[in-house]
Amino acid sequence: MANYRNLEDLLKTVGTYIKKPESIEKITKAYNVAASLHEGQLRKSGEPYIIHPLNVAGILAELHVGPDTICAGLLHDVVEDTACSKEELAAEFGDDIAEMVDGVTKVGQIKFASLEQKQATNHQHMLLAMARDIRVIIVKLADRLHNIRTLGVMSDEQKQRIGRETLEIYAPLAHKLGIFTIKAELEDTALKYVDPAYYNKITDKIRNDSSARMQNVDHTINEISNVLLDNNIEDFKIKGRIKNIYSIYKKMVNQNKEFEDIYDILAIRIIVDTVGECYQCLGLIHANYTPVPKRFKDYIAVPKPNMYQSLHTTVISKDGFTFEVQIRTQEMDRIAELGVAAHWAYKENANYNKDREQFEIASKLKWYGDLLKFSEEDKNDDAKEYVDQVKDDILGTTVYVYTPTGEIIDMPLGSTPLDFAYRIHTNVGNTTVGAIVNNKIVPLDYELHNGDIVSIKTNKNSFGPSENWLKIAKTNNAKHKIKSFLNKQNRDVLLAHGKQLIDEEFRFNKTTSADLNDDFVKNNFSKNNVNSLDDLYVEVGKGNLSPKTVYAKYAGTDTKNPEDLIAKTIERNQRILTTNSSTGVVVEGLTNPQLKLGSCCNPIPGDEIIGYVTKGNGIVVHHSSCKNATTFQKERIIPLKWATNPGRKYPASIKIEATSSMTLLVDIMNTVSTCNMSILAINANSNADLQTIVKLKVMTTNLLELEKLIINLKRVKNVFNIERDNI
Ligand code: MN
């Protein structure tokens, strides 16, 4: 454990693997900036403050991290503890270093309220989720390591708190990253403060016992060396080591074992050149010593999640001592000591790429990959825009909420349960029907707070996002996904609607539209910018093209040239636009007709309508199949049209038949409100057969919207029939 007292000490370690003058210059500059910013500040021990970041950088250099990470180590406390801002740092040292320092600062602000086991795991996740860049965690671990090395000057209470936090959160993180050297030192140093009596008990035992065992091990090492040499394995290293104190502590406390009962306090490590030699060694060891049953583990064939690889076996020496033997290659040994840090160890001349490095680490470390998975979803879908948006979300200010299983999710400030749902998975978002926060039902636009436990209610039959969700969602991630759902769905609905209108028109003319195809559409409608049959359906569905025009083209009865047609369309649209009737209904040739919507059938845009000229009441608009229409006098019926965009809402009644159930009304009301429609009236009657008839009156913009509602109501549990009422 090196102690760094000045820049020269640091540069000595750095210089073992970083040679480029510009890198050394950058590190020197970072040191000078940090030293002048911390000027006059003292540590509790009385030392100048700069000693702390200097040693953090030193620990990082021992892990062979890149020059930017060393700079981040030197500068890690300047945003928190000096007047320097993140922006100033970015201007001086670039975004990469500024982001890392910002990450370390944010991570340092997390308050660990409880250190119970389950919570501790969450806190580890929270740290990781927050850091995002794995180098931030490495800097934080180096920071913590130096702090705990110098914990002696703190109060007893601080020693306890920092020690426990280290054991519960930071050491396990170092373990997950496979950085054994840091993990072991964090654990042993923390234990010294958390349980000094037990710590001393174990160190005493090791001191008294290990001389005997160590002697024995030295003897065994010689024996093994000879066995290997006799079998033509010449290039190997072999050494004995004592298990770290905290691992012994855990075995004694958790497994209730006596010190003497722990097999692997002593380990002999054999390092060879090739994997083949590893297995050869294992065979030789087992041939010469008695293995302890069930103690053999092959982490070469099946590496640990933190990338650790080795063969482990426990054998009994000729003198009756048990000891563990670890066999691995040099590369495996490096990874065992340095973990992630070994994997990414700075290679001066390789083209360094931060994103590729993250990707490589993620692909090696399964759990880290899982953590970043959410941003991988939809990767091919407008990838760049999407990644930028997600980045935006991450760099914004953050709230932390829990899933029902205790996982911590970080969300931008102001996020709603919808954002949360889309963060969990696109499918969760798209099928959201409600949200429960801290055991209470909340509206979807509820603003999430730190510590909220959020559970999303989904229904796979739900109708999916509505336009309104775009206003509720705060994150670009959720908005992006809602938009792509809506775009797709709107087109599907319009397409189906247009096809239906065309089919009806052709049936009316006693033929079928079966001969319509892309070529026909291209030949006849490319001037309208419609080039495929599907596009034609969509345009008709939108009302931009009339099915009559399509039929006229098809039947060849259309004698006008396209220019005339366009002129006529423009003229018609202008007439529609000049309509100022509040009904949204257009009477050809009349600019301001006196119109009234029939209350018998409540027609809505999209319905086929007729006008009935009354005496004194103007024209009453009816659904073309209104039950009163049979009584109308033919000569007083006039054709009517809907304006293209009436821009108001209309009442519509529907009748729902269902098997009676406790939740029927609630389900219906939830469906309506999630469709962003309002209920004017609802009433339910049940009969003796346990059937319920619900009459529902809603406000709607048009038939499409109402049809969507009906489709979704049909999916409500126990509903078996729905129809428009009073038509
Ligand atoms: Mn620090």
Domains of the chain by start residue, with CATH: 7-194 (1.10.3210.10), 199-342 (3.30.460.10), 353-395 (no CATH), 398-474 (3.10.20.30), 484-575 (no CATH), 585-642 (no CATH), 650-724 (3.30.70.260)
Q: What is the model's pLDDT at position 390?
A: 35
Going by pLDDT thresholds of 50, 70 and 90, the confidence category of residue 607 is confident
The pLDDT tens digits for 612-640 are: 888 777 788 998 888 888 888 887 888 88
Query: Distance from the CA of 154 to the center of ligand 1, in angstroms?
Result: 15
For the cut 50, the answer to whether the pLDDT of residue 437 exceeds it is: yes
Identify the residue with better confidence: 560 or 416.
416
Going by their DSSP bridges, the two strands 619-623 and 595-597 should be labelled as parallel
Q: What is the model's pLDDT at position 498?
A: 87
Query: Distance from the CA of 92 to the center of ligand 1, in angstroms?
Result: 20
Query: Distance from the CA of 108 to the center of ligand 1, in angstroms?
Result: 9
Average pLDDT over residues 488-505: 83
Query: Distance from the CA of 147 to the center of ligand 1, in angstroms?
Result: 7
Query: Distance from the CA of 76 to the center of ligand 1, in angstroms?
Result: 6
User: pTM for the complete prediction?
Assistant: 0.52
Query: Distance from the CA of 33 to the center of ligand 1, in angstroms?
Result: 16
Question: What is the 8-class DSSP label of residue 475?
Answer: S
Query: Distance from the CA of 700 to the center of ligand 1, in angstroms?
Result: 60
For the cut 90, the answer to whether the pLDDT of residue 282 exceeds it is: yes
Q: What is the model's pLDDT at position 466?
A: 81
Going by pLDDT thresholds of 50, 70 and 90, the confidence category of residue 573 is very low
Q: Residues of the chain with pLDDT > 70: what percent?
A: 83
CB 633 within 8 A of CB 655: no
Residues at Cβ < 5 Å from ligand 1 ion: 77, 143
Identify the residue with better confidence: 622 or 556.
622
CB 343 within 8 A of CB 138: no
Q: What is the model's pLDDT at position 212?
A: 67
Q: What is the model's pLDDT at position 121?
A: 56
At residue 492's C-alpha, the angle toward residues 491 and 494, to 5°, is 65
Query: Distance from the CA of 387 to the center of ligand 1, in angstroms?
Result: 31
Query: Distance from the CA of 155 to the center of ligand 1, in angstroms?
Result: 18
Closest CA to 723 of 708, 710, 705, 704: 710
Going by pLDDT thresholds of 50, 70 and 90, the confidence category of residue 570 is very low
List the catalytic residue out of 9, 81, 357, 447: 81
- Out of 158-172, 315-329, 393-407, pick the least confident: 393-407
For the cut 60, the answer to whether the pLDDT of residue 704 exceeds it is: yes
List the catalytic residue out of 80, 337, 558, 707: 80
- Cα–Cα distances (Å) from 596 to 588, 614, 636, 649, in that order, read 16, 10, 15, 14
Query: Distance from the CA of 68 to the center of ligand 1, in angstroms?
Result: 17
CB 245 within 8 A of CB 194: no
Q: Which long-range contacts (CB under 8 A, 24 or more apart) does 431-438 make?
A: 431/458, 431/459, 431/460, 431/462, 431/464, 432/456, 432/457, 432/458, 432/462, 433/457, 433/458, 433/459, 433/462, 433/670, 433/671, 433/674, 434/670
Residue 686 DSSP SS3: strand
Residue given tokens 């930017």 in the structure block: 68
- Out of 122-126, 308-312, 424-428, pick the least confident: 122-126
Is 80 considered catalytic here? Answer: yes
Q: What are phi and psi of 475, to 5 degrees?
A: -85, 145
For the cut 60, the answer to whether the pLDDT of residue 85 exceeds it is: yes
DSSP line for 516-572: --HHHHHHHHGGGT--SHHHHHHHHHHTSS-HHHHHHHHHT---S-HHHHHHHHHHH
CB 652 within 8 A of CB 700: yes
For the cut 60, the answer to whether the pLDDT of residue 722 exceeds it is: yes
Query: Distance from the CA of 334 to the center of ligand 1, in angstroms?
Result: 27
The pLDDT tens digits for 17-27 are: 899 999 999 99
Average pLDDT over residues 509-519: 84
Going by pLDDT thresholds of 50, 70 and 90, the confidence category of residue 599 is confident
For the cut 90, the answer to whether the pLDDT of residue 512 exceeds it is: no
For the cut 90, the answer to whether the pLDDT of residue 71 exceeds it is: yes
Quote the CA–CA distance of 325 and 220 in Å, as a whole number. Answer: 11
Average pLDDT over residues 395-402: 63
For the cut 60, the answer to whether the pLDDT of residue 565 exceeds it is: no
Identify the residue with better confidence: 213 or 702.
702
The pLDDT tens digits for 88-146 are: 999 999 998 998 998 888 777 766 655 555 555 555 555 655 556 778 888 999 999 99
Q: What is the model's pLDDT at position 154?
A: 86
Q: What is the model's pLDDT at position 325?
A: 93
For the cut 70, the answer to whether the pLDDT of residue 417 exceeds it is: yes
Identify the residue with better confidence: 641 or 6.
6
Read off the tokens for 309.
């690889």
* Strand extents, DSSP E, 562-663: 585-586, 595-597, 609-613, 619-623, 637-639, 641-642, 650-659
Identify the residue with better confidence: 704 or 328.
328
Average pLDDT over residues 187-205: 93
Question: What is the 8-class DSSP label of residue 617?
Answer: S
Identify the residue with better confidence: 319 or 238.
238
How far apart, in Å, do the first and last CA atoms of the chain sit? 87
Going by pLDDT thresholds of 50, 70 and 90, the confidence category of residue 225 is very high
The pLDDT tens digits for 155-169 are: 888 899 899 889 888
Query: Distance from the CA of 246 to the center of ligand 1, in angstroms?
Result: 24
| Most confident stretch, 69-78, 220-229, 367-376 | 69-78
Query: Distance from the CA of 10 to the center of ligand 1, in angstroms?
Result: 17
Read off the tokens for 50.
């700069």
Helical segments of 271-377, H only: 275-288, 330-338, 340-344, 354-364, 366-372
Q: What is the model's pLDDT at position 15?
A: 93
Q: What is the model's pLDDT at position 587?
A: 76
For the cut 50, the answer to whether the pLDDT of residue 391 exceeds it is: no
The pLDDT tens digits for 668-701 are: 888 888 888 887 878 888 776 677 888 888 888 8
Q: What is the model's pLDDT at position 593?
A: 73
Q: What is the model's pLDDT at position 395?
A: 36
Query: Distance from the CA of 31 to the center of ligand 1, in angstroms?
Result: 14
Is 87 considered catalytic here? Answer: no
Question: What is the 8-class DSSP label of residue 119?
Answer: H
CB 144 within 8 A of CB 179: no
Going by pLDDT thresholds of 50, 70 and 90, the confidence category of residue 257 is confident
**Whole-number mean pLDDT of the chain?**
81
Quote the CA–CA distance of 462 and 433 in Å, as a whole number. Answer: 7
For the cut 60, the answer to whether the pLDDT of residue 14 exceeds it is: yes
Closest CA to 279 of 257, 295, 301: 301
For the cut 90, the answer to whether the pLDDT of residue 373 exceeds it is: no
Going by pLDDT thresholds of 50, 70 and 90, the confidence category of residue 382 is very low
CB 509 within 8 A of CB 551: yes
Q: Torsion angle of alpha carbons 260, 264, 268, 274, nearest 10°? A: 170
Query: Distance from the CA of 55 to the center of ligand 1, in angstroms?
Result: 10
- At 181, which amino acid appears? T
Q: What is the model's pLDDT at position 256?
A: 85
Tell me how far the alpha carbon of residue 134 is from its chain's centroid.
16
